[in-house]
Amino acid sequence: MGGVLIIGAGGVGSVVAHKCAQLYDRFGGITLASRRVQRCEKVAGEIRQRTGRSIGVAQVDANNVKEVRSLIRKVEAEIVINVALPYQDLSIMEACLEAGADYLDTANYEEPEVAHFEYSKQWDYSERFKEHDLMAVLGCGFDPGVSNIFCAYAQKHLLDEIEYVDILDCNAGSHGYQFATNFNTEINIREVTQKVRHWSEGRWIETPAIIDSGSVHFPFEYPEVGKRESYLLYHEELESLAKNITGLRRIRFWMTFSQEYLEHLRVLRDVGMTRIDEVEYEGKKVVPLKFLKALLPDPASIGSGYTGKTVIGNVMRGTKDGKERAVYMYNVCDHAESFSEVGSQAVSYTTGVPAMIGALLVKERKWKGTGVFNTEQLDPDPFMDELGKNGLPWKAVDFGGELPE
């Protein structure tokens, strides 16, 4: 039985490694690899202390197909969990094809030079994965990932047809920093400074970015944390769900942001610190956003003392037995409890746990197929069963609240 190779040792990678180690007997061998091997060794030491299990560590350049391929073969990995940067998705997929390993990631591919993300280049790999009798699962974090599977579960069990989906992501936590991002700074800021899109009646509708005048937002009452201002944002699962959910008329994504965060981001944008093109400074080429990333706290380091909760879920409206029905499926995750268990805050935890579960289901062939899949295309039942058992309990309740039309 082959083992699992985890590429990426940031906050999410640490969670994935910890959670795989908790189920060591089901995974077999576990190897954590990154360009920063010292970070892998630190995580391995924490896992040994918490679980008594030993995992392998390795250094790898995820951009180098040959290096990744060689490492997959060396550790005899049956599946690769990619929690590196989205820029590296295609090189790792290529290495999996050459080495004969299944593939799973949590975020879709991005071009390094363009602040834009979409699934098309990864979907283009589907025939090659079929030819090699391999499986690739895309976007298996929480959103995307669990948010997609909530739709699949509702379509299978709760609604005969889903017409409207609103994905609502709230971080009601406090980390104590004036300004910090909860996951990779570069990817986070590229994502939230873009113009917003949502899908409605067969077409994409564009609205201003969250920091621009005219941005769309409203207050939503989140379970356990109360009312929070929620901003319309483009998120990658909209692309695949609009394609794969039958009968869908509209899908939107909302995320909470504090006014302090938005004001910091506006200032940084206005002075040019969010630029992703090179500028010359004292005879050297510098990318402002990469420099800003170096100045801000490492998201993997902000878990200690983080308080509060995340609340992420879907409001799905449609029909059941000929009658209109609205369902709210969601999870509440506590930052302090996440840190106590695996040494990471809840944003990393809610991404890492689903990645571990998805890899486990592929490895145990509870999810099976050849080609490239988004999570809503797979059976939701085994995933939802594992979700509650592995630290992310979920609820499904009838929804009677108000949403913007």
Residue 291 — φ and ψ, nearest 5°? -65, -40
Q: How far is CA 297 from CA 40, 186, 199, 241, 304, in A?
A: 19, 12, 34, 33, 12
Query: What DSSP character marks residue 376?
Result: G
Q: Distance between CA atoms of 331 and 142, rounded to whole angstroms?
A: 10
Taking the CB of residue 321, how many other CB atoms lie within 10 A of it?
7
User: What is the block-wise mean pLDDT of the chain (405 residues), using blocks of 10 residues?
Assistant: 89 97 95 96 97 96 98 97 95 98 95 82 98 98 98 98 98 83 77 91 96 95 97 96 96 94 89 90 89 85 85 98 97 97 96 98 97 98 98 98 92
Residue 363's SS3 state is helix
Q: Which residues, listed in sequence order, are joined to residue 136 by a DSSP beta bridge?
A: 103, 372
pLDDT score of 113: 74
Question: What domains sit in the chain, N to C, each tagged with a CATH number?
Answer: 146-343 (3.30.360.10)
Do residues 378 and 147 touch, judged by C-beta distance below 8 A? no
Helix, strand, coil percentages in the chain from 3-state DSSP, rounded to 5? 40, 30, 35
Do residues 302 and 335 touch, judged by C-beta distance below 8 A? no
pTM: 0.94
pLDDT score of 311: 98
Residue 197 — φ and ψ, nearest 5°? -135, 145
Per-residue pLDDT tens over the stretch 165-203: 999 999 998 887 778 777 678 878 888 888 999 999 999
Q: Distance between CA atoms of 367 and 369, rounded to whole angstroms?
A: 7
Please give the distance of CA 9 from its chain centroid, rounded to a whole number.
15
